[in-house]
């Protein structure tokens, strides 16, 4: 299942920010039904400059600012998508997604089911999460668990520049409503991105690193932490396999189960609080379908069950890191 | 020709002093942030000082202030939160108003009836209606004042708060600080002539005033509070101010017209205008102002020292106050 780039592919090293900007650019160019709107996305280029230059390129009919109203961002996207547009709306911080929650959870997610025909709601809600910048209680929560319990929504959380680009394009072309979560602390992260046009389909887990001793299922920004932990563990003779689901829900469990069947150890890693989180679901899936392959209890790495504290030392302690993953793997192996 | 002074000399001096306190505190904040001592991001109040101080002065100690908009520090000061408490919170230290849990956007102080938990813009108005509801049920004559920026008024929650305040005819004063910008999005694209017009369909009293004039704000908010206290129901006030600072420190403001910006700095600086007004009427002297500034600078310096010396929270503090009743050992070490 691994989607490693083959040696032939021409690539350019670029940041996640550039990759997202390209994805939006290419999709706006390719399909005139695609619209991009939200707070400060046009001339300002988005708070984190993801949409820089797009307003100038595509004009105010395609790329536009809105009044400050997340409910309307969610609700108008539902209507617009239903009637033939392909809206990409930006909800500045994922902490504000609950303001649009009714439209996402009760409408976008359920219309195809209820209408029972070819109706689809092809909308993408882009939003940012990520801690480590002292933004505190309302500007950095990881919201995937709030939404992964909603059938009908697709929740995407990419890791590398290549995936940010391919998955955003995939999400825009997808006929279901997608919540596309971007880690604001990683926009500057760079990596190889194919020069040729490509998309990545949603709902396909990817193996980011092969290994035989332990499986780490990591999402979003935690993929980087897992890679770092794996390097350190490798020096100690422990080879980790890293599975990056990329789409949180619906979850492609195949590669996770295959990996656990091989390594017999499972560690999960997420930025959100561990309790009731993505890692818990992965653990449950593995217990359901690969229980007898497990040599040790599952270890879940995540944030403590507390709001994101502002104080620098508390925030630092709050954030799960490579260290936590490293000790979780060692713990599991030593059990 | 400057305007008259409509309050007694002592009050006038307090207004000037209050605005200077915000300004000097924020200048220091900006520097400490620039030096990397204050983490996160900071939004300053430049241009809003008159609106904050006029509003604060109109309120009684037992009236609630539910803050909104992004210009928050000035409002904390106007509601009487001590400077060391605010500064230590900006630093994320245990001596802060919120013991370092909240930071700049989340300063709150229930003892002083400051409802501050306001980093989702436009979410403060319904709680303000609830505060007023509780006061009414307890048969006090306390009112709830709540602020919001022009940007925030587009939120449905702002409008539903108006519906509820009118429905229950509660003592709420909605103050809209219209500084014409929501980050880079201009308020002029919104339809109402005045944002206070949003109160009209609810048959509320509405006023639109020059919010850079501390006295105008003081009188208008005082009247609205008086009306609310006496059972006259809610009021919506548009306080027209200029945002004389970037949205947050670091915002390059490429979206603003430079000439217009310079003009606003000349014409709508609440502190400079009021200073001239008081000097002209001999209500203060240059030396009087210098003394005032020197005293405030000392206060601010002390606040910084307090913040620097205040310890970082203990690691376990991350678990304090998650639940009111400690569960499974959490929060037991208070
Ligand atoms: C619900 C919500 N949406 C968006 C933001 C991001 N944001 C912070 S301040 C701001 C602009 C607010 O403008 P306004 O209400 O006019 O207040 P001002 O900044 O002028 O004080 C925005 C969009 C937010 N904090 N909360």
Residues B165-180 have pLDDT tens digits of 999 999 999 999 999 9
Please check whether residues A121 and A157 belong to one and the same domain: yes
A134, part of any domain: yes
A151 inside domain: yes
Distance CA(B305)–CA(B84), nearest Å, equals: 8
CATH number, residue A34: 3.40.50.970
Helix %, strand %, coil % for chain B, to 5?
50, 10, 40
Q: Which pLDDT score, from 0 to 100, does residue B325 have?
A: 77
Helix (H) or strand (E) holding B305: helix B286-309
| Rg, Å, chain A Cα set | 19
Q: How confident is the model at residue B323 (pLDDT cuts 50, 70, 90)?
A: confident
How far is Cα B146 from Cα B72, in angstroms, rounded to an integer? 12
Q: Which of A135, A169, A194 is the last residue of a domain?
A: A194
Q: Is residue B230 within 8 Å of residue B178, measured between CB atoms?
A: no
**Cα-Cα-Cα-Cα dihedral sign, residues A86, A56, B243, B181:** negative
Peptide bond before A261: cis, by omega within 30 degrees of 0? no
Cβ pairs bridging A and B (under 8 Å): 122
Same domain? For A28 and A154 the reply is: yes
Residues B284, B229: Cα–Cα separation, whole Å = 34
Is residue A34 within 8 A of residue A62, CB to CB? The reply is yes
pTM equals 0.95
Residue of A nearest to B189 (CA): A67
| Residue B67 near residue B122, CB atoms below 8 Å | no
Q: What's the pLDDT score for residue A50?
A: 98
> Which strands sit side by side in the sheet containing A63-65, from one edge to the other?
A63-65, A34-38, A86-93, A124-129, A178-183, A154-156, A247-249
pLDDT of residue B328: 63
Spatial neighbors of A313 by CB under 8 A, at least 6 apart, are: B92, B312, B313, B315
Three-class DSSP category at A211 = coil
Residues A30 and A174 in one domain: yes
Q: Which residues of B101-134 are buried (b: 16+ CB within 10 A; e: fewer)?
A: bbbbbbbbbeebbbbbbbbbbbbbbbbbbbbbbe
**Which of A136, A167, A194 is a domain's end point?**
A194
The interface pTM score, or ipTM, of the predicted complex is 0.92
From CA A274, how far away is CA A307, in angstroms rounded? 12
Residues from chain A contacting residue B69 (CB–CB below 8 Å): none
Residues A40 and A188 in one domain: yes
The CATH number of whichever domain residue A328 belongs to comes to 3.40.50.920
Query: Hey, what are A334's tokens?
Result: 């030593």
Q: Say what the pLDDT of residue A8 is.
A: 80
| A175 shares its domain with A226 | no
Please, which pLDDT band fits residue B334 given cuts at 50, 70 and 90?
Answer: very low
Is residue A3 situated within a structural domain? no
Phi, psi of B253 (to 5 degrees): 55, 40
Q: What is the pLDDT of residue B106?
A: 97
Question: What are the b/e assignments for A90-109, b being 16+ CB within 10 Å?
Answer: bbbbbbbbbbbbebbbebbb
**Residue A201 is assigned to a structural domain of this protein:** no
Around ligand 1, the residues with Cβ closer than 6 Å are A 39, 68, 70, 92, 96, 99; B 69-71, 119-122, 149-152, 179, 181-183, 243, 247
What pLDDT does A1 receive? 37
A 181-210: CB under 8 A from B: none
Residues 6+ apart with CB under 8 A from A139: A93, A95, B105, B119
Query: Could you list the active site residues of A?
Result: 139
User: What is chain B's alpha carbon radius of gyration, rounded to the nearest angstrom?
Assistant: 20
Contact between chains at A67 and B185 (C-beta distance less than 8 A) = yes
Same domain membership, residue A171 and residue A49: yes
Residue A52 lies in a domain: yes
Cβ contact A108:A152 at 8 Å: yes
Contact B190 A67 (CB under 8 A): yes
CB B209 within 8 A of CB B240: yes
Determine the Cα–Cα distance for residues B22 and B81; give it in Å rounded to an integer: 12
DSSP symbol at B313? P
How does strand B185-186 pair with strand B181-182? antiparallel
Number of domains in chain A: 2
Strand A240-244 and strand A206-209: the pairing is: antiparallel
Residue B118 pLDDT class (50, 70, 90 cuts): confident
Q: Are residues A114 and A150 in the same domain?
A: yes
Question: Cβ separation of B184 and A137 shorter than 8 Å?
Answer: no
Q: What token pair was written down for A147?
A: 């939404």
Residues with Cβ within 8 Å of A6's Cβ and at least 6 positions away in sequence, in order, are none
| Strand-strand pairing, A214-218 and A240-244 | parallel
Which residues does B contribute to its contact with A (CB < 8 Å)?
A: 39-41, 92-93, 98, 100-103, 105-106, 117, 119-123, 151-152, 154-157, 182-185, 189-190, 254-255, 312-313, 315, 317-319, 322, 330
Whether residue B1 has pLDDT greater than 90: no
- In a domain? residue A5: no
**φ and ψ of A132, to 5 deg:** 120, 0
Q: What is d(CA A142, CA A130) in angstroms, rounded to the nearest whole number? A: 6
**pLDDT of the residue at A264:** 98
Of B102, B312, B319, the CB nearest to A313: B312
Instruction: Report chain A residues whose CB lies below 8 A from the CB of B157.
Output: 99
Please say whether the beta carbons of B115 and B131 come within 8 A. yes
Q: How would CATH label the architecture of B9-319?
A: 3-Layer(aba) Sandwich (3.40)
* Residues B73 and B25 sit within 8 Å (Cβ to Cβ): yes
Asked if A21 and A78 sit in the same domain, the reply is yes
Mean pLDDT confidence for B106-112: 96
**Burial track B54-81 (b if 16+ CB lie within 10 A, e otherwise):** bbbbbbeeebbbbbbbbbbbbbbbbbeb
**Phi and psi (nearest 5°) for B159?**
-70, -35
Per-residue pLDDT of chain A (335 residues; tens, 9 = 90+): 345 566 688 999 999 999 999 999 999 999 999 999 999 999 999 999 999 999 999 999 999 999 999 999 999 999 999 999 999 999 999 999 999 999 999 999 999 999 999 899 999 999 999 999 999 999 999 999 999 999 999 999 999 999 999 999 999 999 999 999 999 999 999 999 999 999 999 999 999 999 999 999 999 999 999 999 999 999 999 999 999 999 999 999 999 999 999 999 999 999 999 999 999 999 999 999 999 999 999 999 999 999 999 999 999 999 999 999 999 999 999 98
Are A171 and A215 members of one domain?
A: no
Mean pLDDT of chain B: 95
Which residues are CB-contacts of A287 (< 8 A; sequence separation ≥ 6)?
A294, A298
pLDDT value of residue A4: 59
Nearest one of B113, B118, B114 to B102, comparing CA atoms: B118
Cα A239 to Cα A299: distance, rounded to the nearest angstrom = 17
The SS3 assignment for B252 reads coil
End of a domain among A167, A194, A221?
Answer: A194
> Element (H or E) spanning B225, and its range?
helix B214-229
A23 and A111 share one domain: yes
Domain ranges of chain B: 9-319
Q: Structural domain of residue A228, as residue ranges?
A: 206-334
Digit-coded pLDDT (tens) for B18-77: 999 999 999 999 999 999 999 999 999 999 999 999 999 999 999 999 999 999 999 999
Residues B143 and B69: their CA atoms lie apart, in Å, by 20
> Do A34 and A181 belong to one domain?
yes
For residue B68, give the 3-state DSSP assignment.
coil
**Helices (H), strands (E): how many in chain B?**
10, 8
Percent of chain B predicted with pLDDT > 70: 97
Q: Are residues A146 and A169 located together in one domain of the fold? A: yes
């Amino acid at each position: 299942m691994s989607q490693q780039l083959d040696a032939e592919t021409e690539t350019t090293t670029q940041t996640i920010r550039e990759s997202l900007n390209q994805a939006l650019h290419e999709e706006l160019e390719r399909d005139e039904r695609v619209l991009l709107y939200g707070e400060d996305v046009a001339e300002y280029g988005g708070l984190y400059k993801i949409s820089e230059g797009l307003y100038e390129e595509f004009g105010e009919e395609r790329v536009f600012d809105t009044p400050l109203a997340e409910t309307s961002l969610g609700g108008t996207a539902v209507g617009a998508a239903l009637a033939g547009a392909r809206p990409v709306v930006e909800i500045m911080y994922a902490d504000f997604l609950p303001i649009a929650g009714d439209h996402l959870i009760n409408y976008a997610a359920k219309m195809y089911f209820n209408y029972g025909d070819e109706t689809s709601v092809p909308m993408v809600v882009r939003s940012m999460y990520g801690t480590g910048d002292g933004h505190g209680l309302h500007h950095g929560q990881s919201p995937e668990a709030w939404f992964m319990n909603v059938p009908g929504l697709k929740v995407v959380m990419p890791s590398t520049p290549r995936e940010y680009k391919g998955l955003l394009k995939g999400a825009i072309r997808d006929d279901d409503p997608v919540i596309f979560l971007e880690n604001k602390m990683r926009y500057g992260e760079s990596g190889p991105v194919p020069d040729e046009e490509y998309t990545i389909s949603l709902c396909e887990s990817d193996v980011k690193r092969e290994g035989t001793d332990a499986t780490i299922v990591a999402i979003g920004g935690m993929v980087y932490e897992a890679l770092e932990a794996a390097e350190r563990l490798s020096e100690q003779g422990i080879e980790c396999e890293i599975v990056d689901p990329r789409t949180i829900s619906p979850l492609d469990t195949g590669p996770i189960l295959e990996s656990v069947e091989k390594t017999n150890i499972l560690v999960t890693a997420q930025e959100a609080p561990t309790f009731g989180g993505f890692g818990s679901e992965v653990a449950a899936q593995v217990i359901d379908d690969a229980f007898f392959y497990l040599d040790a209890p599952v270890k879940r790495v995540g944030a403590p069950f507390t709001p994101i504290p502002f104080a620098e030392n508390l925030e630092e302690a709050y954030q799960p890191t490579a260290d936590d993953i490293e000790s979780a793997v060692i713990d599991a192996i030593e059990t | 020709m400057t305007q008259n002074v409509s309050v007694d000399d002592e009050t006038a001096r307090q207004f000037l002093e209050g605005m200077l306190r915000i300004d000097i505190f924020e200048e220091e904040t900006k520097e400490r942030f620039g030096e990397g001592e204050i983490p996160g991001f900071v939004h300053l109040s430049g241009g809003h000082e008159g609106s904050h101080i006029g509003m604060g002065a109109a309120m009684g100690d037992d009236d609630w202030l539910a803050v909104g908009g992004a210009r928050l520090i000035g409002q904390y000061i106007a509601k009487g939160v001590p400077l060391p408490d605010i500064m230590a919170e900006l630093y994320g230290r245990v001596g802060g108003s919120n013991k370092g849990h909240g930071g700049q956007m989340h300063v709150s102080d229930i003892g002083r009836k400051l409802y501050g938990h306001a980093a989702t813009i436009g979410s403060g108005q319904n709680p303000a209606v609830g505060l007023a509801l509780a006061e009414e049920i307890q048969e006090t004559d306390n009112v709830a004042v709540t602020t919001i920026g022009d940007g925030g008024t587009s939120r449905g929650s702002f409008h539903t708060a108006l519906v509820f305040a009118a429905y229950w005819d509660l003592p709420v004063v909605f103050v809209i600080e219209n500084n014409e910008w929501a980050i880079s999005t201009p308020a002029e694209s919104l339809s109402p002539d005045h944002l206070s017009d949003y109160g009209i369909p609810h048959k509320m009293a509405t006023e639109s005033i020059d919010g850079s004039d501390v006295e105008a704000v003081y009188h208008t908010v005082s009247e609205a509070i008086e009306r609310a206290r006496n059972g006259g129901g809610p009021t919506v006030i548009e306080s027209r101010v200029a945002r004389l600072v970037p949205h947050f420190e670091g915002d390059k403001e490429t979206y603003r017209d430079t000439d217009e910006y310079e003009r606003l700095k000349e014409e709508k600086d609440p502190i400079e205008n009021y200073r001239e007004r008081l000097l002209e009427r001999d209500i203060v002297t240059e030396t009087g102002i210098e003394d005032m500034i020197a005293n405030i600078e000392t206060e601010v310096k002390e606040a910084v020292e307090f913040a620097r010396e205040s310890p970082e929270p203990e690691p376990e503090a991350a678990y304090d106050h998650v639940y009111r009743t400690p569960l499974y050992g959490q929060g037991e070490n208070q």
